[in-house]
A and B are shown apart, each in its own frame.
Chain A
Amino acid sequence: MHETDMTKALMITLREWWESQPTRPPVERVFLTVGQFTCVEPASLQFAFEVQTRGTFLANAQLVIQETPLIAFCQVCQLEYRPKFGLRYACPTCQAPMDDIRSGRELKIDRVEYATAATPP
């Protein structure tokens, strides 16, 4: 279950950012993009995040994961296609191998949402 390590990595990165903030605001939501062509299972990551953030600065933060599909680009046909994960990766039209991956390799912390005491105008 390497999602525990992924969560650890995520927490280290977020802590760096958080500690650089002058106000150290309470983080409310963390948005991730996780591609289908990675070794990360979003449900496992959700679970690991919930358990591992207990008692930390991310204790009340919600993890929002957006999955991106595997999309390849065939150089021969000059067309994008969606490989059938686990079955077929070559271009369905000309059978050229999957070379150029346009989407699906993402493992990214997109943004964080936090609350701050608003200063009246």
Chain B
Amino acid sequence: MHQIIDETLGINLLHANQAGADHNRAHFDEWGITCLNVMSSPGAGKTVLLEKTLAALTDALKIAVIEGDMTTELDADRLRQYGVPVIAINTGRACHLDARMVAGGLHTLSQTHTPTDLDLVIVENVGNLVCPAEFEVGEHAKVALLSITEGEDKPLKYPVMFREADVLVITKVDLAPYLDVDLSRIEANVREINPQVTIIAVSAQTGAGLEAWFDWVRAAVKPSQLAAAH
């Protein structure tokens, strides 16, 4: 003889990850670090954008990178050439970074560097337009990249990523003359889902638009840190 008991929980499915992300963010805040979570599909140009960013900003800002890659350290090695600490996290078969992995990366980082010396931690997520959108890692802002070669419809097809983004960097704009793609259409499609998003169009090849992106990064870094760095 048994009876059925119905118990209301009302807990977010990602409760455990969210708690981990909040914990990471509390550490970042305590250390005076701004954290950016950079996301896109594979091949949109995350790593080259970070290369340009490190080359331009490492004089003014102390930057570290947490690099998510499913199996290799290829991207991490590219970024190490800029003389910044790069922690590579191989996610194995997981297609995104989660809060626990980033916490592990921060732990590794703190063994060789004093966190309070850093201004900015850039997390380069695994190339994927779907999963990273749901897993916060403790970032202060989400950066989504979309290369113009991916087509105008991607924001409509993968809306959650573009809805969540604080800034959208449209990459490879130097290729526009060779493609049947309308940059203003991409922008309009993103704004339909996320009217508040900041949109910056860049070309890492020609350097077009990069200054606007650097300005955005400088503004995202907490003012006290930037002031202290000068």
Interface residues of A, Cβ cutoff 8 Å to B: 1-2, 5-6, 9-10, 12-13, 17, 25, 28, 32, 34, 37-40, 85-90, 97-99, 107-118
The listed residue (A6, A10, A97, A109) touching B191 by CB distance below 8 A is A97
The listed residue (A2, A10, A97, A113) touching B6 by CB distance below 8 A is A113
A97 to B29, CA, bound (A): 33
A12 to B96, CA, bound (A): 19
Interface centre among B9, B95, B195 (most CB of A within 10 A): B9
A-B contact count (CB 8 A): 108
Q: Mark B190-209, 1 if CB is under 8 A from A, else 0.
A: 01111100000000000000
User: Which residues of A sit under 8 angstroms from B9, Cβ to Cβ?
Assistant: 17, 109-112
Q: Is the interface of B mostly helix, strand, loop or mixed?
A: mixed
Q: Mark B1-33, 1 if CB is under 8 A from A, else 0.
A: 111111111111111110000000000000000
Q: Does B84 contact A (CB under 8 A)?
A: no
Counting from the closest, the 5 A-B pairs by CB-CB distance are A2-B131, A97-B195, A107-B13, A118-B3, A115-B2
The listed residue (A12, A98, A114, A117) touching B193 by CB distance below 8 A is A98
A61 to B8, CA, bound (A): 16
Q: Does B119 contact A (CB under 8 A)?
A: no
How many chain B residues touch A (Cβ–Cβ < 8 Å)?
36
User: Which residues of A sit under 8 angstroms from B156, Cβ to Cβ?
Assistant: 86-89
Nearest residue, chain B, Cβ from A90? B192
User: Which residues of B sit under 8 angstroms from A10, Cβ to Cβ?
Assistant: 13
Q: Does B133 contact A (CB under 8 A)?
A: yes
Q: Give 7 A-B contacts (CB < 8 Å), ordered by A residue.
A: A13-B16, A32-B13, A86-B157, A107-B134, A109-B10, A111-B9, A117-B1
